[in-house]
Amino acid sequence: MALPEHAAEAISQAEAAGPGDVTRLLRSAGAGERAALDRVVSLLYDDLRRLARRQLARERGSRSIQPTTLVHEAFLKLAGSAPRARDRAHLLAIAAHAMRQVLVDQARERRAAKRGPDWVSTTLTDGISTTNLGPEALLALDDALERLDPRQRQVVECRFFAGLDDPEIAEALGVTTRTVRRDWVKARAWLNRWMSENSPS
C-alpha cells in the first residue's frame, strides 16, 4: 500500500529543515493543516525507514513486508494520531507504536494461515536485541506489552522498537530521564519474567 499521492510528492520535494521546523509543522498539523503533516512525514521519512528496518530486522525467516511498505502502512495509522505529536521524538514514538500494530496484525494473519508453533525465546536487554521474532513470539511480546502500565509500555516501545535513547524517550513522553530508566528496569524485568513463564513448553 502506498502513501497518498500528495504525501509522496512532498517527500520527493523535501528540503533541509531545522529541528524547530518539525515542531512548528506539527503544531500546524494539529490545527488541521493537512499539508503540514505531509511535510513532517517528508522531513522524517529517513528516520521512519530506519525505524522500520530496525523492527523488521527482528523478523525470523523471510520478511513478510519491506521497510518502505511498513512505513506506508504505518502512515495510514499515523495520519489520525500524528497531529497530537509535540515534537520529533514524540512523533517517532507514535510511529513505533503504529509499526508495532502493523507487524502484530500481520503476525496474526501469518499464524492463522500457518496454524503451527513458532515460538522463539526473547530477552529484552539494554541494547537493541538481535533475537529474531517469529509470529508467535511477536504476538506473545505484544500480549505482554498490553499488560504493562501504559507509560512503561511506551518506554519499551520507544527503546525496543524505535531505538530512542533515554533523553529522547523522556522528551517524547514528557518525563525525566530518571523516570525513563526506572520504568525501563521495571518493565524489562516484568516482561522477561512473563515471557519466560508463558513460553510454550
Supply the pTM of this predicted model. 0.65
More confident residue, 24 or 114: 24
The per-residue pLDDT for 19 is 58
The per-residue pLDDT for 177 is 95
The per-residue pLDDT for 132 is 55
What pLDDT band is residue 118 in, cutting at 50, 70 and 90?
Answer: very low
**∠ CA 194-141-120 to the nearest 5 degrees?**
90
Pick the closest to residue 40 from 52, 51, 30, 53 (CA basis).
30
The per-residue pLDDT for 181 is 95
The per-residue pLDDT for 130 is 38
The per-residue pLDDT for 94 is 85
Considering only CA atoms, give the Rg of the chain.
17
Cα 17–chain centre separation: 23
pLDDT of 10 strictly over 70: no
Domain membership of residue 136 as a residue range: 5-197
The per-residue pLDDT for 115 is 54
The per-residue pLDDT for 59 is 66
What's the CA gap between 142 and 121, in Å, rounded? Answer: 14
Residue 142 has φ and ψ, to the nearest 5°, of -65, -45
Q: What is the pLDDT of residues 158-201, one digit of tens each?
A: 887 777 889 989 988 889 999 999 999 999 888 888 877 776 54
Number of structural domains the chain divides into: 1
The per-residue pLDDT for 101 is 85
Amino acid identity, position 129: S
Q: What is the pLDDT of residues 137-166, one digit of tens each?
A: 778 778 888 889 999 999 988 887 777 889
